[in-house]
Amino acid sequence: YVQKISSSGYSIIHSKRAIDVFPGPIENAIPTVFVNTSPAPSNPFMPPIYGPGYPQAGQASCAVPPPACPKSQYRSMDGSCNHLEQPQLGMANTRYGRLVAAKYGDGVSAPTRSITGDELPNARLVSLVVFGEMDVPDPQFTLVNMQWGQVITHDMSMQAGGTQSRKHPTRCCTDDGLLISNDLLPSTCFAILVPPNDPAFSQVGIQCLNFVRTLTDLDANCPDRQQQAEQLTTVTSYMDLSLVYGSSIQQNSQIREFRGGRMIVEERNGAEWLPSSQNVTGDCDAIDLTEVCYRAGDIRVNQNPGLAMLHTILLREHNRIADGLAKLNPHWDDRTLFQEARKINIAEYEHISYYEWLPIFLGYENMLKNRLIYSAPKTTHINDYDPSIDPSVLNGHATAAFRYFHSQIEGRLDLAKKHLSAQLTIECFRTFYIREWRWVPKIRLMANIISLFVSLFSLMSELRSVAGALRLSDWFNRPGIIELGDNFDSLTRGHATQPQELTDINFDREIKHYLFRRNRPFGSDLRAIDIQRNRDHGLASYNDYREFCGLRRANNWEDFTDLIDVEIVEKLKTLYASHEDVDVTVGGSIERHVIGALAGPTFLCILTEQFYRTRVGDRFFYENGDKYAGFTPDQLAEIRKASMARLLCDNGNSIESMQPKAFLQVSNSNPVVSCSNIREVDLSKWIDQKVYLTAAPLHYGK
């Protein structure tokens, strides 16, 4: 068992050594192949857009927990009082947690350096040499899988002081990509320098990629700061759909309708959409003020079309539940309807995330063994809340391990229509069979019965065909595209049909050279940013994390070959001065995967630790049987029927069919079926009958 004290003072005692937990053989990873980029498209540069509301350098605040926690059956908006004795745990504007002590260049806050004292190898160079950009579709998983991952990410953390996709007001590079001279350089700058002969950026003379350091508890002068800097995260750590509801009461009140328990929506073309941003040109790369730009519980909502689509679906699900509850309990007031709908929405999301999504990433057996999920009867609570577990999001998780899944991003978003022939067959059936069968000759009846079988067959196989596609970098920060024509449903179907990119060392060109290009020929490189962020946050080395996870500490380069292919280790040798220097973001991303999981042993150890803490450190986790805050056994059984497929069915504009396992591609064992054949959560179990207080469920765990 691993028994380590983290830098924030708590010990990790539950997890077995990674080597014991994952004893199986290791799969081969895809070899790196570096493909040169195409010539730059000739789009003109857009004028720079500045606007109010961006976080400014030096602007960070520390959470102030309430002096006492009121008794509440619902989560607070800012995460406070989830832990009753330490109300600040998991709150917005608190520190990331750390598994392994920080390794700052100056021991306090400066970016990590080599053990030789020199700078670490250039982040863009590492991105180009170690990571590929091949387009390798995943054979099993759909793009919804990747997109749900980003939803979970945005729910759990957001580094302080960043603008994410929007142009940062702190400039480390000039607008034409040159480094600003040292005497004018803001202190939060840590620009990524572009190496000479860069296959993309050198074509247009870009020598510098903007990068602004994350704000820390030292910047914010937090009262309980220690000597070493700890980065702050500005959203609640819990999986509580803070991206939908906001991470403070103020944020929440700007998106809540305060009627019928509903969240604000705007109606256009017969559908309900997220409310509009109050600062269109500031929050989006809008060309004019009439362009659609959304407001939600998280400022990153507009970042890409798939994300805006899932935000919309989660918002509609809230209102769908609130409306359903209002019909069943007409005596409930707005607050009760809002909080109950929020509680159900969060529970469905947690259920989908832990039982449908995470097993794909962490492996079902691994999750069972480490008590992240249970195989329990449907009405049985799992009472594993442990107040000794800190629910904070770990720096090694958010800044290294979870970002490995940037590899799943696809640069082309398919728009999938219902298949025309299937549609025609259904129409034919409707017209002739249903309306006219009474009086048509028998022969026509026979023909129509055949047509019924054909249409059923089409339904059971595949109803979709690709009618177009969006280039990701054309639509960063321009979410309005999802409202055009039938795009919302087509994008939803597309995400449920299209393979995600294979989880490997390849990162799509759209995020490797064109990230947030804002109509310019090139943008930035997300992989280089991930590596630079690793150093900005002073993460301990790959070797340190190996050791922490119970794996063998390498004494030389060759020792890495137990988990990493020899050819990749050879590449590392050409870049890093020592095997002790390898960044965990890099080392963890090139390990061969553990069988049944989508990561190698080091990242799997960090991810497993994180999702254990996120579950067990959350007093409101949906499976808890707390008499006051939990669900009744019958309600819990309903929540456990929630699925990604049904969520998409219920909240599209007009999605009528879906494969039952939406994270998996359509196949004979996962055919597209009518939405009515996919189980739904029956809200009648929420009819106010006061049975709740008398229920005596069986309990698992303590």
Can you say which residues are annotated as belonging to the binding site? 406
Least Å distance between CB 264 and ligand HEM?
26
Classified as helix, coil or strand, 512 is helix
18, 146, 325, 655: which one binds ligand HEM (CB under 6 A): 146
Q: Which residues of 378-411 are buried (b: 16+ CB within 10 A; e: fewer)?
A: ebbbbbbbbeebbbbbbbbbbbbbbbbbbbbbbb
**Closest CB to ligand HEM among 236 and 303?**
303
Among residues 91, 95, 97, the alpha carbon closest in space to that of 7 is found at: 97
**403 touches ligand HEM (CB under 6 A):** yes
Per the annotation, the verdict on 579 as an active-site residue is no
Please provide residue 568's backbone torsions phi and psi, each rounded to the nearest 5 degrees: -75, -40
Identify whether the C-beta of residue 621 lies closer than 8 Å to the C-beta of residue 385.
Answer: yes
> Of how many residues is the chain composed?
702
Enumerate residues 492-531 that contact ligand HEM by CB under 6 A: 511, 526, 529
Among the candidate windows 144-152, 192-200, 351-359, 641-649, which touches ligand HEM by CB under 6 A?
144-152
164, 202, 254, 383: which one binds ligand HEM (CB under 6 A): 164
Among residues 458, 457, 487, the alpha carbon closest in space to that of 475 is found at: 487
Among the candidate windows 133-141, 239-247, 345-353, 401-409, which touches ligand HEM by CB under 6 A?
401-409
Least Å distance between CB 193 and ligand HEM?
17
**398 touches ligand HEM (CB under 6 A):** yes
Expressed in percent and rounded to 5, the helix, strand and coil fractions of the chain are: 40, 10, 50
Cα gap 315→273, rounded to integer Å: 8
**Closest CB to ligand HEM among 90 and 261?**
90
Dump the DSSP string for 267-325.
Answer: EETTEEEPPBPS-HHHHS--SSTTS--B--SSGGGGS-HHHHHHHHHHHHHHHHHHHHH
**188 touches ligand HEM (CB under 6 A):** no
**166 touches ligand HEM (CB under 6 A):** no
Identify whether the C-beta of residue 513 lies closer than 8 Å to the C-beta of residue 523.
Answer: yes
Enumerate residues 205-234 that contact ligand HEM by CB under 6 A: 233
Least Å distance between CB 146 and ligand HEM?
5
Catalytic residue among 14, 83, 154, 419: 154
Among residues 101, 341, 112, the alpha carbon closest in space to that of 228 is found at: 101
**589 touches ligand HEM (CB under 6 A):** no
Please provide residue 417's backbone torsions phi and psi, each rounded to the nearest 5 degrees: -90, 165
Q: How many residues bind ligand HEM (CB under 6 A)?
A: 23
Amino acid present at 27: E
22, 131, 385, 402: which one binds ligand HEM (CB under 6 A): 402
Least Å distance between CB 314 and ligand HEM?
16
Cα gap 330→688, rounded to integer Å: 10
Chain centre to alpha carbon of residue 579: 31
109, 150, 451, 614: which one binds ligand HEM (CB under 6 A): 150
Q: Which residues carry a binding-site annotation for heme b?
A: 406
79, 90, 121, 149: which one binds ligand HEM (CB under 6 A): 149
Query: What x/- string results for residues 275 through 314 when contact with ligand HEM is judged by CB under 6 A?
Result: ----------------------------xx----------
Show the tokens assigned to 90.
Answer: 């998991």
Among residues 268, 191, 328, 192, the alpha carbon closest in space to that of 681 is found at: 328
62, 158, 347, 662: which one binds ligand HEM (CB under 6 A): 158
Q: What residue is closest to ligand HEM based on CB?
A: 149
Query: What x/- string results for residues 241 through 280 when contact with ligand HEM is judged by CB under 6 A?
Result: ----------------------------------------
Binding stretches for ligand HEM (CB under 6 A): 146, 149-150, 153, 157-159, 162, 164, 233, 303-304, 398, 402-403, 405-406, 408-409, 511, 526, 529, 533
Catalytic residue ranges: 154
